Chains A and B, each alone.
Chain A
């Protein structure tokens, strides 16, 4: 009985990691589409979002089936709830990667406002967040999950940097407003994507320690 439950839980974890990996690929491809003004790549990312949505539904059904069949308790139950909650966040994260791709598609039609430096840096930090998150899940390591929260602070810092920079552009030359606003939306999508990953990391800490953990700035 225990063996069957372990197998089912491992399978759930695997599927969730697969979903995280898909979101990671979307984020990476969307960033590259943005920097290289590659419309075809952006479209490929937009198409991928359906896969993430389908995976969410599949994992959720599996999780419910595990509860019904095995009536898990303690850590096992916490893991299942962590996964169910994480699914929503990962699905939203995928949506934000898709939004970046949609804006990259818009921006690919015209010459860029400037050479993008901070935006791809945000993208890179998000990839690092997802790598660390995956590792923390695979190795059941809370220290790594906490590192994800730190990385999110860096993403937030970069978001502020981009915003300030774009406002300067708009003030200097109103003709840049349309493009700058689109870029602002891209930065916002990255920032929100990071927040969803942060939520997942908090859930992972809950699963491993049983303590509800909230990043300091959220705890008001």
Chain B
């Protein structure tokens, strides 16, 4: 047990142990994150160490929350008598820097890409080989243009009420090559009040992932939750080791995939801009990737 104690002394995560509202132990990382000196607070009231009523409430009632504490962003997890603190400040900073770089880059790419499509259309291929090359180029330019557009998406456009079914023909047109020979079931009986373009982009990314990495049958469906509308793409692929990290930029669920690992990151960003959230998980024999949007 001595070893365990020594390990906590060196841990990168903060730990506070408390009993009957008194601090029993805190490790050096917790000292640093909470800006306290242990010799001053051990054996004294918990709130004197935490000095934050939200942290105190969490410590006493349990749960998990992301909190800004003393200028740092902490992921806090509270179990009876134990409070774990994980510093996410740098991660947040990295994500913000990435976001800014992405926006600038997408903006720079969009204009030349918009011009390339019509230019390629104007070319007349002379041989079969030239036609093949040209088709390939057109496809790639269109793909890049879509990517640039979804990357530069930050603010949702105007909302309107529309039947979700409306989105499917557009999705089918864009994906038709890749839908051929696949088993995709679509069940979208609800109406939504949101920005249709943002939702389209979300479903496009989710379907694209399922077609690339998932297994048939793929099911695109909407369902009503308590106060949310859920849109989900389910597939019969094998369970994945970790679902939450897939939403971080640059993470791919499968080795050897061809994407940039931005799909789910963009889905989450879009879902949040619509006031909702993106989620993923395993249900029965299916992988579920979806978004929940607030009912108006």
Give the interface of A toward B (CB within 8 A).
10-11, 13-14, 17-18, 20-22, 24-25, 28, 124, 127-128, 131, 134-135, 137-140
A135 to B51, Cβ gap below 8 A? Answer: yes
Question: A25-B54, A131-B70 in contact; A18/B47 too (CB < 8 A)?
Answer: yes
A128 to B71, Cβ gap below 8 A? Answer: yes
Name 25 A/B residue pairs within 8 A (Cβ), A-sorted.
A10-B44, A13-B48, A14-B47, A17-B47, A17-B48, A17-B51, A18-B53, A18-B56, A20-B51, A21-B51, A21-B52, A21-B53, A22-B53, A25-B54, A127-B71, A128-B71, A131-B70, A131-B71, A134-B51, A135-B35, A135-B36, A135-B51, A138-B48, A139-B36, A139-B41
- Cα–Cα, bound, A17→B34 (Å): 14
| Chain B, Cβ-Cβ closest to A21 | B53
- Cα–Cα, bound, A23→B41 (Å): 23
B40-71: CB near A (< 8 Å → 1, else 0) gives 11001101110111101000000000001011
Q: How many whole Å from B31's CB to the nearest CB in chain A? A: 12
Would you call B170 an interface residue if the criterion is a C-beta within 8 Å of the partner chain's C-beta atoms?
Answer: no
Would you call B92 an interface residue if the criterion is a C-beta within 8 Å of the partner chain's C-beta atoms?
Answer: no
Q: How many whole Å from B12's CB to the nearest CB in chain A? A: 22
Would you call B159 an interface residue if the criterion is a C-beta within 8 Å of the partner chain's C-beta atoms?
Answer: no
B37 to A139, Cβ gap below 8 A? Answer: yes
Partner of B41, one of A21, A24, A138: A138
Among B36, B37, B53, which residue has the most Cβ atoms of chain A within 10 A? B53
- Cα–Cα, bound, A137→B48 (Å): 8
8 A-B pairs with the lowest CB-CB distances in the bound complex, closest first: A134-B51, A21-B53, A138-B48, A14-B47, A139-B40, A18-B53, A131-B70, A21-B52
Residues in A whose Cβ lies below 8 Å from that of B40: 138-140
Partner of A131, one of B35, B45, B48, B53: B35
B14-51: CB near A (< 8 Å → 1, else 0) gives 00000000000000000000011100110011011101
| Chain A residues touching B, majority SS | helix
Counting contact residues on chain B (CB < 8 A from A), the size range is: 10 to 19
Question: A131-B71, A139-B36 in contact; A25/B53 too (CB < 8 A)?
Answer: yes
Residues in A whose Cβ lies below 8 Å from that of B45: 10-11, 13-14
Partner of B49, one of A10, A28, A128, A138: A138
| Chain B, Cβ-Cβ closest to A28 | B68
Question: A10-B44, A10-B45, A18-B56 in contact; A138/B68 too (CB < 8 A)?
Answer: no
Among A18, A127, A135, A138, which residue has the most Cβ atoms of chain B within 10 A? A138
- Cα–Cα, bound, A138→B42 (Å): 11
Residues in A whose Cβ lies below 8 Å from that of B68: 28
- Cα–Cα, bound, A41→B53 (Å): 19
Residues in A whose Cβ lies below 8 Å from that of B54: 21, 25
- Cα–Cα, bound, A11→B71 (Å): 26
- Cα–Cα, bound, A5→B47 (Å): 18
Q: How many whole Å from B83's CB to the nearest CB in chain A? A: 16
- Cα–Cα, bound, A134→B41 (Å): 13
Residues in A whose Cβ lies below 8 Å from that of B48: 10, 13-14, 17, 137-138
| Chain B, Cβ-Cβ closest to A141 | B40
Residues in A whose Cβ lies below 8 Å from that of B36: 135, 138-139
- Cα–Cα, bound, A84→B68 (Å): 29
| Chain A, Cβ-Cβ closest to B22 | A10
| Chain A, Cβ-Cβ closest to B37 | A139
Residues in A whose Cβ lies below 8 Å from that of B35: 131, 135
- Cα–Cα, bound, A135→B35 (Å): 8
- Cα–Cα, bound, A139→B31 (Å): 13
- Cα–Cα, bound, A13→B21 (Å): 14
- Cα–Cα, bound, A22→B51 (Å): 10
- Cα–Cα, bound, A161→B236 (Å): 61
- Cα–Cα, bound, A134→B49 (Å): 9
- Cα–Cα, bound, A114→B281 (Å): 43
- Cα–Cα, bound, A131→B50 (Å): 11
- Cα–Cα, bound, A135→B70 (Å): 10
Residues in B whose Cβ lies below 8 Å from that of A131: 35, 51, 70-71
Residues in B whose Cβ lies below 8 Å from that of A13: 45, 48
| Chain A, Cβ-Cβ closest to B52 | A21
| Chain B, Cβ-Cβ closest to A124 | B71
Residues in A whose Cβ lies below 8 Å from that of B71: 124, 127-128, 131
- Cα–Cα, bound, A140→B47 (Å): 14
Residues in B whose Cβ lies below 8 Å from that of A17: 47-48, 51
Q: How many whole Å from B30's CB to the nearest CB in chain A? A: 14
